[in-house]
Amino acid sequence: MFLRANPIVRITASSARARHSSLNTENQNLQFCESQFRVYAVPRIPIIEDLTEGPIPLGSNILVEYDPASQWYNTSVTIAAGWIKSGGVASYNAYDHSPESVRLQLKRLGLDAERLEREEKLRIWDWYTIQLGKKSQEKYAMPSLKVADLSIDYSRRVIVSTRSSDHLRVMDDALVLLRFNDERSFIDFWRTRLVPTTGPNSNSTALPSVPKGVYPEYICRTFEVAADGIIDFKLEEEGKATRDLIRIRSMRNVHFDREWHELKIGANFEVTLEK
């Protein structure tokens, strides 16, 4: 876990403890951060921040583009679980999977999903049930998939509920809404509702995702313009073997590893970087 300040100042917790015993000349900067910036602890983003040289700034909008056959779904749940385990609050937006399937996977990863939901440390937003023509029984669910109906409700419920500095919003496939809206309306919704929930005026970090090769490429390009970082997931075939891969294609404000890295899938479907 890191210590994060606002404006963005982060140092490792271990470094802070090591220096805490001698706060004279060596620690004047740390004291300045504490007195001037309100330093507080914030979890890290598993897997992704393993590939950056420093922490990803608060309020970042990190776009994930994935092959449908890739390990994005298992990775997305792994990221949410790791964030929660390190003290954060996660909102998991389930478009392609039922809330129950998300809870089951979180349980495999060692979390008591129901308890975390009662404590408001986990919020599973149900965008899935309404696609089946049914009314969701979930606490967090949208009444419609039409952006004209969602606009006000999204601002009132989602934006207001995700303003804290320890909040991570994961979306397993945000482009599902394109099936229920024209392209222009959806793009406007993305740019005026999703993107404003991140940025310099927000401490909430978002991981929206879009599948590759399913929708017109220009739509993904439009979203890339507003993204602070772009992550790629793919399944690579080499003869009879296959490899699950991840890379950071771009990232603002932090240096990163540009190479493709292989992912390891555990027996409980936990995803880690292959060493």
Strand-pairing partners, residue 256, are 52
Dig out the tokens for 221 from the structure.
């390009």
pLDDT digits (tens, 9 = 90+) for 189-213: 888 777 665 555 567 889 999 999 8
Looking at per-residue pLDDT, the higher value among 46 and 154 belongs to 46
Same domain for 18 and 89?
no
pLDDT digits (tens, 9 = 90+) for 129-182: 999 999 999 999 988 899 888 876 666 666 555 555 588 999 999 889 999 999
Looking at per-residue pLDDT, the higher value among 50 and 40 belongs to 50
Same domain for 164 and 193?
yes
pLDDT for 23 beyond 50? no
Quote the mean pLDDT of the chain: 82
Domain assignment of residue 34, given as a range: 1-42
Q: Which of 140, 161, 218, 231 is nearest to 186 (CA)?
A: 218
What pLDDT score was predicted for residue 33? 31
Phi, psi of 241 (to 5 degrees): -100, 155
Q: What is the mean pLDDT of residues 35-62?
A: 79
What pLDDT score was predicted for residue 92? 96
Q: Give the total number of structural domains in the chain.
A: 2
Confidence band, pLDDT 50/70/90 cuts, at residue 121: very high
For residues 76 and 136, what is the distance between their CA atoms, to the nearest angstrom?
Answer: 22
Dihedral angle over CA of 17, 21, 26, 29, nearest 10:
60
Confidence band, pLDDT 50/70/90 cuts, at residue 31: very low
pLDDT digits (tens, 9 = 90+) for 213-252: 888 888 889 999 989 999 999 999 988 899 999 999 999 9
CB atoms within 10 A of CB 64: 27
Same domain for 14 and 116?
no
What pLDDT score was predicted for residue 157? 65
Same domain for 199 and 139?
yes
Strand-pairing partners, residue 249, are none
Q: What is the mean pLDDT of residues 84-94?
A: 93
Percentage of residues in the chain having pLDDT higher than 90: 57
Angle at Cα 188 formed by Cα 186 and Cα 193, nearest 5°? Answer: 95
Same domain for 18 and 51?
no
Q: What is the mean pLDDT of residues 113-120?
A: 96
Dig out the tokens for 268 from the structure.
């409980």
Here the CATH number for the domain that contains residue 58 is 3.40.50.300
What pLDDT score was predicted for residue 13? 38
Q: What is the mean pLDDT of residues 17-24?
A: 36
pLDDT for 24 beyond 70? no
Same domain for 156 and 222?
yes
Same domain for 68 and 17?
no
Q: How far is CA 250 from the centre of its chain?
A: 16
For residues 225 and 238, what is the distance between their CA atoms, to the nearest angstrom?
Answer: 33
Same domain for 2 and 51?
no
Indicate the pTM of the whole model: 0.82
Dig out the tokens for 14 from the structure.
């271990």
Same domain for 75 and 23?
no
Same domain for 77 and 37?
no
Q: How far is CA 187 from the centre of its chain?
A: 20
Same domain for 66 and 31?
no
Percentage of residues in the chain having pLDDT higher than 70: 77
Dig out the tokens for 239 from the structure.
């003869």
Same domain for 110 and 179?
yes
